[in-house]
Structure 1
Amino acid sequence: MPRADAQRNIDALLAAAKAEFLTNGVDVSVRAIAARAGVGTATLYRHFPTRADLISAVFHKAIDALTEAANDLAAAYPPDAALERWVHGYIDFVATKHGLAGALYSGDPAFNGLREHFETRIGPTLQRLLDEAEHVRAIRPGIDPLDLLGAVANLCIPPPDSTDTSRPYRMVALLLDGLRYGAASRPSASA
């Protein structure tokens, strides 16, 4: 476990990297990340020896946050609202990962296991939210979580030269409406 000051630096670097990735993509300069975090580049490299290590850490932290958010949302909202709010959080997750796909397929060993980590954490998390929403007949049955994640990610790809940041939310709302279509009128499992 890092000392408290080292952990503050790590947290600041991860938050700064996430913010810089959102606005400038994963190829942003490490100097910009360090400056935003309020630390020197030596501190950045002490905790994250390579850019790939930093990207991987941001990705892992975001996956863990999405998993935790599902638990909080499921406890605070009805299943359909919890699912919709979680999907909005996933839209935000996708938006912060400009250029990540290219980095993931670069062959850099720091990215080994990221896809598996994503699928083993996020897939079951979303499946639980889908099951709960299906149970109360808020969505139609049989939705594969990885298919839904892929559809949402694809809907988040902006058209060329678009600056409309609300478009992914509108597109995903249409998708979610499609999941709801006919769900309440289907026969109950006990019929």
Structure 2
Amino acid sequence: MAAAEIRRARADATRNREQLLAAATRLFAAAGAEPSMRAIANAAGVGIATLYRHFPTREALVDAVYRDQVSRLTAGAGELLAQLDPPAALRRWMDLFGEWIATKNGMLDTLLAMVESGEIAHAHTRAELLGAIDELLEAGRASGGLRADVTAEDIAAALIGIFTVAGPPGHEALAARLLDLLLDGLRPCACGRPEPAR
């Protein structure tokens, strides 16, 4: 096979994989139950054989989507800080976190089984996400835009609570309002009272 053909085949394979990840992410976020592998292949515009060539099992696909989303969240903190002031970056990151939670809805059964079997290290994912929140909080503290007494664990717990209440489809406006209220509570107190010590 000529070098040009090899490059074209690799480019096609990369494009197909990206299309499959994007389609699976969309379907997982929109679905109440896990979509079929065939539905994912159709949504990506590829044949079922192409899907199985890239992801031989449902677990392999779920793992790839999960890791892709976590990677986007962790890298997203720095990218957002390069574009926005820290409070705005944190607020946008909260939206990304909500999208990640929504994606898990359509792959929950498989994901839980994988966490239980040890195929996905939940503790490692948690550490990565807390690290991203810490990066945002540190920038906010340095700029004076966010309170100094709030921890990444505080933010994570609040986000899980918000998306438990307002995560299902049709509750986007409630989620946005609760996230705005959360961010307001993270701003330094301007009332002349000292912030509580930790």
TM-score w.r.t. the length of structure 1 is 0.83
CA contact (8 A) 2:27 2:40 kept: yes
| Identity value in percent | 36
For structure 2, the 5+ residue unaligned runs are: 1-8
Aligned length: 187
Q: Which residue of 2 aligns with 1:6?
A: 13
**From 80, 100, 108, the counterpart of 1:73:** 80
**From 152, 164, 170, the counterpart of 2:177:** 170
**From 106, 115, 133, the counterpart of 2:122:** 115
User: Does residue 1:130 correspond to 2:137, yes or no?
Assistant: yes
Q: Which residue of 2 aligns with 1:146?
A: 153
User: Does residue 1:45 correspond to 2:56, yes or no?
Assistant: no
CA contact (8 A) 1:80 1:138 kept: yes
Q: Which residue of 2 aligns with 1:92?
A: 99
Moved more, 111-120 or 130-139: 111-120
CA separation of 1:165 and 1:187: change in aligned 2, threshold 3 A: closer
Moved more, 82-91 or 162-171: 162-171
Indicate the SS of the match to 2:80.
helix
CA separation of 1:36 and 1:162: change in aligned 2, threshold 3 A: closer
For structure 1, the 5+ residue unaligned runs are: none
- RMSD (Å) for aligned C-alpha atoms: 2.8
Amino acid at match of 1:123: L
CA radius of gyration, larger in: 2
CA contact (8 A) 1:13 1:33 kept: yes
Moved more, 120-129 or 8-17: 120-129
Indicate the SS of the match to 2:164.
coil
TM-score w.r.t. the length of structure 2 is 0.81
In 2, the alpha carbon distance for the partners of 1:37 and 1:110 equals: 29
